[in-house]
């Protein structure tokens, strides 16, 4: 990829707020250069998955054309090359998260796989009927169901930090919910349904005072904010590659080394062992003891390219650009008669969710698609959030580093088209 030279930021609505050349960035994403229903594609479904830059796509092709071999097991050249690239990506992730050591970086299938790994390992480590697990009312299903399963199997109690009408965590209830019985607080960093940014650092400190571990679901934050796990202080942090411009089927689980050493492996198989006999098996060192079987080698390598792409642009520029888009979109959507925004937290990132009081979200999404605009409609795998706000579904527009103000304008125009179709 050619260097994307920063330039002076301008006023939003006219030029790009973030200090990078947006048109050059967009040229790196081949999928954006197409029409949908004879309209230019406006892709505003980035919270579900982001598009991939050329260097990520090329890394996948190059791997299978020139390097494809299994890792950690071969003395031949291709295996050594594949192993080297795989482990280089681990170091890239370590630096991306500012983890202390590459031993704290475990490659998994995605955020969901990371949550399940920690939940099952903690269950095996001795969660019991006297313990409590604390989550919040804005969690994605993947940060609810695994903990429910642990509670069903052990008799532990699941407790929930409620929401406020603004879509924020009700921290006034925290003292009553976070106790010495709490084994782990598992909390979302940015809500995929609301865009709310949780005060993770504050929550980590409160949990640690009670002796609890903290898991942070970073699926929506890793590609939008600068994440420093040492600064956050969390014990675990997970994110998915496909939400930060990398491929699907690959993700990362960060775990503090001293915590990971105490946990039993989640799965058994090749590469996670040191020695095997029918009498006894001894496990491999970190991080390999949690990476059983042949991993998604190509996915890990391509994830490394995605991280390089993001770092080359600069996360501070990305955050500023997306904040400008969110502010602009929020104000414009509020000006459309009949629309109600769901979630008005004081600190948001990445997404805005809304409803037409007289039109179902799926009908809105269908009309937007006819205008070439891709948004997400439904409960966003966050049914408790929908239940809290008393809506069956919302329309969610979510932003990425390649989106531009004119695309928000196209969204607003299409929303007025919805009003015309339904005679509002």
Give the pairing type, strands 394-398 and 351-356. Answer: antiparallel
Exactly one of 151, 234, 298, 381 is catalytic; name it: 381
> What six digits make up the tokens of 278?
């029918």
> What six digits make up the tokens of 17?
């707020």
SS (H, E, C) the chain: CCCCCCCCCCCCCCCCCCCCCHHHHHHCCHHHCCEECCEECEECECCCCCCCCHHHHHHHHHHHHHHCCCCCCCCCHHHHHHHHHHHHHHHHHHHHHCCCCHHHEEEECCHHHHHHHHHHHHHHCCCCCCCEEEEECCCCHHHCHHHHHHHHHHCCEEEEECECCCCCECHHHHHHHCCCCEEEEEEECECCCCCEECCHHHHHHHHHHCCCEEEEECCCCCCCCCCCHHHHCCCEEEEEHHHCCCCCCCEEEEECHHHHCCCCCCCCCCCCEEEECCCCEEECCCCHHHCCCCCCHHHHHHHHHHHHHHHHHCHHHHHHHHHHHHHHHHHHHHCCCCEEEECCCCCECCEEEEEECCECHHHHHHHHHHCCEECEEECCCCHHHHHHHCCCCEEEEECCCCCCHHHHHHHHHHHHHHHHHCCC
Pairwise CA distance, residues 382 & 82, whole Å? 38
> What six digits make up the tokens of 117?
């790994």
Pairwise CA distance, residues 138 & 183, whole Å? 20
Active site residue 234: no
| Residues annotated as catalytic (active site), given as ranges | 381
């Amino acid at each position: 990829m050619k260097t994307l030279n920063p330039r002076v930021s301008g006023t939003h609505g006219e030029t790009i707020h973030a200090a990078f050349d947006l048109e050059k960035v967009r040229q790196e994403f081949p999928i954006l250069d197409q029409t949908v229903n004879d309209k230019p594609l406006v892709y505003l479904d980035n919270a579900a998955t982001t598009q991939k830059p050329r260097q990520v796509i090329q890394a996948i092709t190059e791997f299978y054309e020139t390097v494809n071999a299994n890792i950690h097991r071969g003395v031949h050249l291709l295996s050594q090359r594949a192993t080297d690239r795989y482990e280089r990506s681990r170091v890239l992730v370590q630096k991306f998260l500012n983890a202390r050591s590459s031993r704290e970086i475990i490659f998994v299938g995605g955020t969901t796989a990371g949550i399940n790994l920690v939940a099952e390992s903690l269950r095996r480590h001795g969660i019991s009927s006297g313990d409590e697990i604390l989550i919040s009312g804005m969690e994605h299903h993947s940060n609810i169901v695994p903990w429910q399963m642990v509670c069903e199997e052990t008799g532990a109690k699941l407790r929930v930090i409620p929401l406020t009408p603004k879509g924020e965590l009700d921290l006034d209830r925290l003292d009553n919910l976070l106790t010495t019985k709490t084994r782990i607080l598992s909390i979302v960093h940015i809500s995929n349904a609301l865009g709310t940014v949780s005060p993770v650092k504050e929550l980590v400190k409160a949990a640690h005072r009670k002796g609890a571990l903290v898991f942070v679901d970073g699926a929506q934050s890793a590609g939008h904010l600068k994440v420093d796990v040492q600064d956050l202080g969390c014990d675990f942090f997970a994110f998915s590659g496909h939400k930060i411009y990398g491929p699907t089927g690959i993700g990362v689980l960060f775990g503090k080394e001293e915590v990971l050493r105490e946990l039993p492996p989640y799965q058994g198989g090749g590469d996670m062992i040191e020695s095997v006999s029918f009498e006894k098996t001894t496990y491999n060192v970190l991080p390999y003891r949690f990476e059983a079987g042949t991993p998604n080698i190509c996915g890990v390598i391509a994830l490394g390219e995605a991280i390089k792409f993001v770092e080359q642009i600069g996360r501070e520029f990305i955050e500023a650009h997306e904040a400008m888009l969110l502010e602009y979109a929020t104000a414009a959507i509020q000006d459309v008669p009949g629309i109600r925004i769901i979630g008005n937290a004081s600190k948001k990132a990445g997404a805005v969710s809304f409803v037409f009081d007289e039109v179902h979200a799926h009908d809105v999404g269908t009309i937007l698609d006819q205008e070439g605009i891709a948004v997400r409609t439904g409960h966003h795998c966050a049914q408790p959030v929908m239940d809290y706000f008393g809506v069956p579904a919302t329309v969610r527009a979510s932003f990425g580093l390649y989106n531009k103000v004119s695309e928000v304008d196209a969204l607003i125009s299409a929303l007025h088209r919805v009003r015309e179709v339904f005679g509002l």
